[in-house]
Amino acid sequence: MSDKPECGGKAPALSVAQARQALLDAVTPVVGWEMLPIRTALGRVLSRDLVAPFDVPAHDNSAMDGFAVRAADLKAEENRLELVGTAYAGGAFSGQVGPGQAVRIMTGAVLPRGADTVVMQEAARLEGDGVILPAVSRPGQNVRRAGEDLAAGRAALLAGRRVGPAELGLLASLGLAEVAVHRRPRIAFFSTGDELASIGRPLGPGEVYDSNRYTLYGVLSRLGMEVLDLGVVRDDPAALERAFTEAAAEADAILTTGGVSVGEADYIREIMGRLGEVRFWRIDIKPGRPMAFGRLGDTWLFGLPGNPVAVLVSFYQIVLDALYRLQGLDPLPVRPSFRVPCDSPIRKLPGRREFPRGVLFQAEGEWRVRLSGNQGSGVLRSMTDADCFICLPEDRGNVSPGDLVEVEPFGRVL
């Protein structure tokens, strides 16, 4: 899809779903991988399948403290068996369990030869040199079989999986000290606008501090990207062209904020089109709408709006899945959503998909949502005070108190 103007010089606006899918259809995972110690690999994405070199667990073992027996010996309401030894985790019983015999066994200990069942110690009663056990309800109970967690030769973790705490433990259980992961995508970003000031100096007349770069630094770092901050670039075509050229030489993707609308000083879309290609630049979304997507050589370009809240909404709703894809994640994380009553009235005209910011809370045992204050696209408090988006589809009109609405919790992304 290219930026070909229709009547009035405007390209058709895409829906949120169309824009998100267009990015996913275009973006592919970064090329390149590295071997890392497993602790260092936390948060990274596996670049190849990991195959279990042996069974986990390696032996049949006890799932709890108790007594290893032959199920055939436990037929009566009470059964007296001879206690012939103890099996410890890391210290197997060397003999064999014969008819009428039992071995005391600890959690994780190898199941002795001849035994097929473990009776938990709370059901047992010691008596002299023997033990009294009830009838077994199920042969094989309380036994973990060899290969129950992982069978030798089977894939333990597939390529495209992000390594989390549980995955670290699984890798360690296989004795793996290193793992192959995709290299981290390099993301360059900068803000545009003559009115923007960097923190650390007093504001001049008409200036505001640039918050967008810090927002992008936060979300990109939390995603595990390698970030390249190019600062604030003035509304000057030559300066913007230099910034694009520098970023494209270093990065897999470029994120900009501001300068993608139709104002006289909005140069981003024009320069993107001159240096590379613009695939679309208008989306039926609020807050937001002007957002350019294209390519400069092998580098993807995401031109986000300038208003601080619109930056976060368009990033989360449009760009996020594409960056997951760039990392090599497969399958992509699912966005959890559910419907709850809304306590706040919301004014909305049909036509665009809107994402007011909300706060989830419980009242009388029921989850509900309310607006997080002033919903202006420049009011970052509406994001810092929120924990979810209220997702209002294109055909939705006004929301009255008590109406059901769909909400998307931010989770750990924002």
The reported pLDDT for the residue numbered 122 is: 95
The reported pLDDT for the residue numbered 103 is: 97
Residues 175 and 193 in one domain: no
Q: Tell me how far apart the alpha carbons of residues 25 and 187 are, in angstroms, rounded to a whole number.
A: 19
The reported pLDDT for the residue numbered 266 is: 64
Last residue of a domain, one of 144, 170, 204: 144
Q: What 3-state DSSP class applies to 121?
A: helix
Residues 39 and 178 in one domain: yes
Last residue of a domain, one of 259, 292, 327: 327
Q: Tell me how far apart the alpha carbons of residues 289 and 293 are, in angstroms, rounded to a whole number.
A: 12
Q: Tell me how far apart the alpha carbons of residues 148 and 94 are, in angstroms, rounded to a whole number.
A: 23
Q: How many domains does the chain have?
A: 4
Is residue 211's pLDDT more than 50? yes
Residues 136 and 240 in one domain: no
Residue-range definition of the domain harbouring residue 120: 61-144
What string of DSSP letters covers 24-58? HHH--PPS-EEEEETTTTTT-BBSS-EE-SS-BSS
Residues 279 and 383 in one domain: no
Is residue 18's pLDDT more than 70? yes
Residues 260 and 223 in one domain: yes
Residue 31 CA, chain-centre distance (Å), reads: 21
Q: CB under 8 Å to 272, separation ≥6 — which residues? A: 244, 278, 292, 294, 296, 301, 303
The reported pLDDT for the residue numbered 394 is: 94
> What's the whole-number mean pLDDT along residues 292-317?
93
Is residue 139's pLDDT more than 70? yes
Full-model pTM: 0.85
Residues 210 and 312 in one domain: yes
The reported pLDDT for the residue numbered 236 is: 86
pLDDT in tens, 221-267: 999 999 999 999 988 889 999 999 999 999 999 999 987 665 544 67
Cβ atoms of 388 and 408 within 8 Å: the answer is yes
Residues 319 and 377 in one domain: no
Residues 283 and 199 in one domain: yes
Within 10 angstroms of residue 63's Cβ, the number of other Cβ atoms is: 14
- pLDDT averaged over every residue in the chain: 91
Higher model confidence: residue 410 or residue 99? 99
CA dihedral 375, 414, 397, 366 (to 10 degrees): -100
> What's the whole-number mean pLDDT along residues 336-342?
96
Quote the crossing angle between the two packed helices 16-26 and 320-327, to the nearest 10°.
20
Residues 276 and 356 in one domain: no
